[in-house]
Structure 1
Amino acid sequence: MAAPNRKEVLRVIMQSGAFILTRFGFWNCFSMLMLFAERADVKRKPDIQVPYLYIDMGAAVLCASFMSFGVKRRWFALCAAIQLGFSTYVSYIGGHVYYGDWLKVRMYSRALAVIGGFLVLASGAGEMYRQKPRTRSLQSTGQVFLGIYLICMVYSLQHSQEDRLAYLDHIPGGEVTVQLLVLVFGVLALSFLSGCYVRLSSQILAILLPWVILFIDGNFGYWHHSRRVEFWNQMKLIGQNVGIFGAVLILATDG
């Protein structure tokens, strides 16, 4: 049996990225429901008022369903970006739950990056059989959002004690490794913001993100027990990083 050629491998990776990103809405809604159930046990309010919460989730599931089946994927990816942006904005201004500044940066920067991923998908990137030319303006905007997410990662590693300890305590090399990651994420951010070498930067980020998800985000003992991040909020954050990983895979192969 002949080994798959490079084009076939890239196509499989691109399809995997699209699969992850288009299904993100399902996991996001599930983790939100579990988070609000977790809060109900301790009589804490959800981020969005209940009547509007179900409308928001219904819209997210609808967009995810159509994207998953490939029906008007560009349109529903754009709708998903708008829905997530509106949901994040309402959660932010609602003020029903108090979050520390360091946690706000983690939450809202990742939401912004997922919105960027949806914009990349809405541009036509990641399509196997592209019948229409891709919309470069949407892709560029999505890349800018991903660049902002990387800038927030740099900021957190420099100024957030909580994030710094998560890396210092669980990766070899200590401060040297942290500063190296700051440099790498900073360079990648400039690449996404400028639109230069986006495919190469996405390939590098696609290698780094799984390690961050597994060893940093996946350290529930640190985030949940030491930093008091709600369990399902941390699961939601992990899901957002997985969604970002899907967007990065698309850009790494079809950027």
Structure 2
Amino acid sequence: MAAPSRREVLRLLSQLGAFILTRFGFWNCFSMLMLFAERADVKRKPDIQVPYLYIDMGAAVLCASFMSFGVKRRWFALFAAVQLAFSTYMSYVGGHVHYGDWLKVRMYSRAMAVIGGFLVLASGAGEVYRQKPRTRSLQSTGQVFLGIYLICLVYSLQHSQEDRLAYLDHIPGGEVTVQLLVVVFGVLALSFLSGYYVQLASQILAIILPLVILFIDGNVGHWHRTRRVEFWNQMKLIGQNVAIFGTVLILATDG
């Protein structure tokens, strides 16, 4: 049996990225429901008021369903970006739950990156049989959102004691490795923001991000017990980083 060609491998990776990103809405809604159930036990409020919360989640599931079945995927990816942007804005201005500044940076920067991922998907990137030319303006905007996410990651590694300790305690090399990651993430951010060498930057990030998800985000006990991050909030954050990884796969293979 002949080995798959490079083009076939790239196509499979692009399809995997699209699969992950289009199903993100299901995980996001599930983790939100579990988070608010977790809060109900201690009588804490959800981020969004209940009537609007169900409308928001219904819209997210609807968009995820149509994207998963490939029905008007570009349009529903754009709707998903708008829905997530509105949901994030409502959570931020609502102020029903107090978060530390370092946790706000983690939460809202990742949400912004996922919004960027939906914009990349809405541009037509990652389509196996592209019948219409991709919309470069949407893709460029999505890439800018990813660049902002990386800048926030650099900021957290430099100024957030919580994030710095998570890396220092769970990766070899200590401070040298952390500073190396700061440089790498900074350079990758410039690539996404400028639009130069985006495919190469995505390929590099596609290698680094799974390690971050596995060794940093995946250490749920550290975040939950030591940093007091709610269990299902941490699971939601992991899901967001996985969705960002899906976006990076698309850009790495079809950028």
> TM-score with structure 2 length normalisation?
1.00
1:177-208 deviations in Å (ceiling 9; x for gaps): 00000000000000000000000000000000
Which structure 1 segments of 5+ residues have no match? none
Structure 1 residue 222, shift from structure 2 partner: 1.0
1:250 corresponds in structure 2 to 250
Q: Percent identity?
A: 89
Q: For the residues of structure 2 that align with 1:143 and 1:106, how far apart are their CA atoms?
A: 18
Question: Tell me, what secondary structure is at the counterpart of 1:209?
Answer: helix
1:14 corresponds in structure 2 to 14
2:73 corresponds in structure 1 to 73
One-letter amino acid of the structure 2 residue matched with residue 121 of structure 1: L
Q: For the residues of structure 2 that align with 1:220 and 1:134, how far apart are their CA atoms?
A: 39
One-letter amino acid of the structure 2 residue matched with residue 202 of structure 1: S
- Listed as ranges, the matches of 1:17-32 within 5 Å are 17-32=17-32
One-letter amino acid of the structure 2 residue matched with residue 38 of structure 1: E
1:116 corresponds in structure 2 to 116
Q: For the residues of structure 2 that align with 1:120 and 1:220, how far apart are their CA atoms?
A: 30
One-letter amino acid of the structure 2 residue matched with residue 172 of structure 1: P
One-letter amino acid of the structure 2 residue matched with residue 56 of structure 1: D
Q: For the residues of structure 1 that align with 2:5 and 2:176, how far apart are their CA atoms?
A: 39
Q: For the residues of structure 2 that align with 1:219 and 1:225, how far apart are their CA atoms?
A: 10
One-letter amino acid of the structure 2 residue matched with residue 146 of structure 1: L
- Listed as ranges, the matches of 1:23-62 within 5 Å are 23-62=23-62
Q: For the residues of structure 2 that align with 1:137 and 1:22, how far apart are their CA atoms?
A: 20
Runs of 4+ in structure 1 deviating by more than 4 angstroms, as ranges, are none
One-letter amino acid of the structure 1 residue matched with residue 251 of structure 2: L
Which structure 2 segments of 5+ residues have no match? none
Question: Tell me, what secondary structure is at the counterpart of 2:170?
Answer: coil
One-letter amino acid of the structure 2 residue matched with residue 52 of structure 1: Y
When the two structures are aligned, how many residues end up with a matched partner?
255
Q: For the residues of structure 1 that align with 2:170 and 2:33, how far apart are their CA atoms?
A: 30
Structure 1 residue 220, shift from structure 2 partner: 1.3
Question: Tell me, what secondary structure is at the counterpart of 1:250?
Answer: helix
1:43-78 deviations in Å (ceiling 9; x for gaps): 000000001100000000000000000000000000
1:79-136 deviations in Å (ceiling 9; x for gaps): 0000000000000000000000000000000000000000000000000000101000
> TM-score with structure 1 length normalisation?
1.00
- Listed as ranges, the matches of 1:189-200 within 5 Å are 189-200=189-200
Q: For the residues of structure 2 that align with 1:246 and 1:221, how far apart are their CA atoms?
A: 25
- Listed as ranges, the matches of 1:151-230 within 5 Å are 151-230=151-230
Q: For the residues of structure 2 that align with 1:226 and 1:195, how far apart are their CA atoms?
A: 39
Q: For the residues of structure 1 that align with 2:108 and 2:52, how far apart are their CA atoms?
A: 20
1:1-58 deviations in Å (ceiling 9; x for gaps): 0000100000000000000000000000000000000000000000000011000000
Q: Are positions 1:234 and 2:219 aligned together?
A: no
1:137 corresponds in structure 2 to 137
Q: For the residues of structure 2 that align with 1:167 and 1:5, how far apart are their CA atoms?
A: 37
One-letter amino acid of the structure 2 residue matched with residue 144 of structure 1: V
Q: For the residues of structure 2 that align with 1:243 and 1:98, how far apart are their CA atoms?
A: 25
One-letter amino acid of the structure 2 residue matched with residue 171 of structure 1: I
Q: For the residues of structure 2 that align with 1:70 and 1:130, how far apart are their CA atoms?
A: 12
One-letter amino acid of the structure 1 residue matched with residue 141 of structure 2: T
Question: Tell me, what secondary structure is at the counterpart of 2:79?
Answer: helix
Structure 1 residue 221, shift from structure 2 partner: 1.7
Q: For the residues of structure 1 that align with 2:67 and 2:12, how far apart are their CA atoms?
A: 18
Q: CA RMSD in A?
A: 0.3
Structure 1 residue 245, shift from structure 2 partner: 0.3
One-letter amino acid of the structure 1 residue matched with residue 103 of structure 2: L
Q: For the residues of structure 2 that align with 1:221 and 1:85, how far apart are their CA atoms?
A: 29
